[in-house]
Structures are given as C-alpha cells and as structure tokens.
C-alpha cells in the first residue's frame, strides 16, 4: 500500500465504525447520481462565491485562477458522486489535502468547506422534496466527515514527516513532546482559571 493510501486508511480506522460512511450511504448517493450531477454548476458556483467573499480564503488564490479551480472542483464533485468511494478515492483525498497544504490552505478552511458541501446537499435535497432527502443528507454528512478526517490526518502526518526530514526529529519524539507541551499548557490554563 502506498504511504498516502496508508494515511487515508489510518484516518478512517480511527473513526468509530458507527460514524463512518456505510454501504447504504454509498447506495443512496449512487441512486441519486443524476440529480447530484445536475447540481454541479450550482455547487461549484456557491463553493467559490463563499471562498471569494471571505478575505482569508480569497487571499489563497492567484489572480485569474478561479476558472481553473472551478474545473478541478467540478472534477472532484463528479468523481465523488459517480464513485466508487473506495480506498483509491480516500487516498486521492489525502493527496488533495497535501496539494492544499502547499498553497497555504489551513485545516479550518478545509473542514468548513467539507461541511459546506454537506449542507448544500441537505438544502437542495429538501428544496427538491426528494423522498430520500434525509438519508441522502446523512450520507453526505458522513462523507464530509470522512474526507475531513483524511485531509487533517494527512496534514498532521506530513508535518511530522517534514520535521523529521528537516531536523531529524523522530515522529514518536514529536508526539511525546507535543503531549508534554500540551499538558504543561493545560496546567497553566487551569491555574489561571
């Protein structure tokens, strides 16, 4: 298994089974493939209108980049809706997370937009009065959580790896030092309150 596929698997396995994307979620998404695809222009437009309306997220983009970004998101949406939502898909999501790290996109921005997509599907499926609006919304909520978990885990893992490559600090040592620092900070916060 490639390193990136391993990172994706690690993230998904850390999620309690009750919270993961289930076979019935994939099935309900597959049953609504055509409807979901018909929402492509709207989801893409709403996604980028949201990012461009907020100065910290707008600042990530280069002048004139939006048309290219719209195309990549369109590709992501199509691949997500058409499936399969398998190991290859989540390994790709871990890689997409890294592409964003290179551009300075922070985890809160990624998580917020994963949630934006879930909320978009919920609103649209209820507006369209789809008989399966609730299961479809839940499927996208679970999918967004899984995508967010993979992306943020990839970010953590590669930061540790970068530190190892740059400064020779073993990931296990970084982990231990982080826990110790967090403990000290927590004690300080408790003393203050």
Residue 145, CA distances (Å) to 3, 53, 64, 72 in order:
21, 24, 31, 21
Of 106 and 164, nearer to ligand HEM (C-beta) is: 106
What does the H/E/C string look like for 127-186? Answer: HCCCCCHHHHHHHHHHHHHHHHHHHHHHHHHHHHHHHHHHHCCCHHHHHHHHHHHHHHHH
Site string for ligand HEM, 69-108 (x = CB under 6 A): x--xx--x-------------------x--xx--x-x---
**Is 143 a residue that touches ligand HEM (CB under 6 A)?**
no
Of 94 and 105, nearer to ligand HEM (C-beta) is: 105
**Is 136 a residue that touches ligand HEM (CB under 6 A)?**
no
Shortest distance in whole angstroms from residue 88 CB to ligand HEM: 14
Residue 69, CA distances (Å) to 78, 99, 109, 127, 186 in order:
14, 12, 16, 27, 41
Site string for ligand HEM, 106-125 (x = CB under 6 A): ---xx--xx--x--------
**Is 20 a residue that touches ligand HEM (CB under 6 A)?**
no
**CB neighbours (10 Å) of residue 52?**
14
**Is 137 a residue that touches ligand HEM (CB under 6 A)?**
no
**Is 164 a residue that touches ligand HEM (CB under 6 A)?**
no
């Amino acid at each position: 298994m490639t390193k990136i596929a391993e990172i994706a698997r690690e993230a998904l396995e850390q999620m309690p089974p009750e919270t993961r994307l289930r076979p019935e979620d994939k099935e309900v998404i597959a049953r609504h493939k055509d409807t979901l695809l018909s929402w492509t222009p709207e989801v893409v437009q709403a996604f980028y209108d949201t990012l461009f309306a907020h100065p910290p997220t707008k600042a990530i983009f280069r002048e004139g980049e939006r048309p290219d970004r719209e195309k990549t998101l369109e590709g992501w949406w199509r691949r997500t809706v058409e499936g399969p939502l398998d190991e290859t898909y989540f390994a790709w999501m871990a890689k997409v997370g890294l592409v964003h790290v290179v551009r300075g996109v922070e985890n809160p921005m990624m998580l917020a937009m994963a949630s934006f997509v879930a909320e978009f599907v919920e609103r649209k499926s209820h507006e369209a009065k789809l008989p399966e609006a609730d299961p479809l919304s839940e499927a996208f909520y679970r999918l967004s959580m899984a995508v967010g978990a993979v992306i943020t885990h990839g970010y953590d893992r590669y930061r540790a790896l970068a530190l190892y490559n740059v400064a020779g600090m073993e990931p296990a040592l970084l982990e231990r030092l982080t826990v110790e620092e967090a403990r000290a900070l927590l004690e300080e916060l408790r003393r203050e309150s």
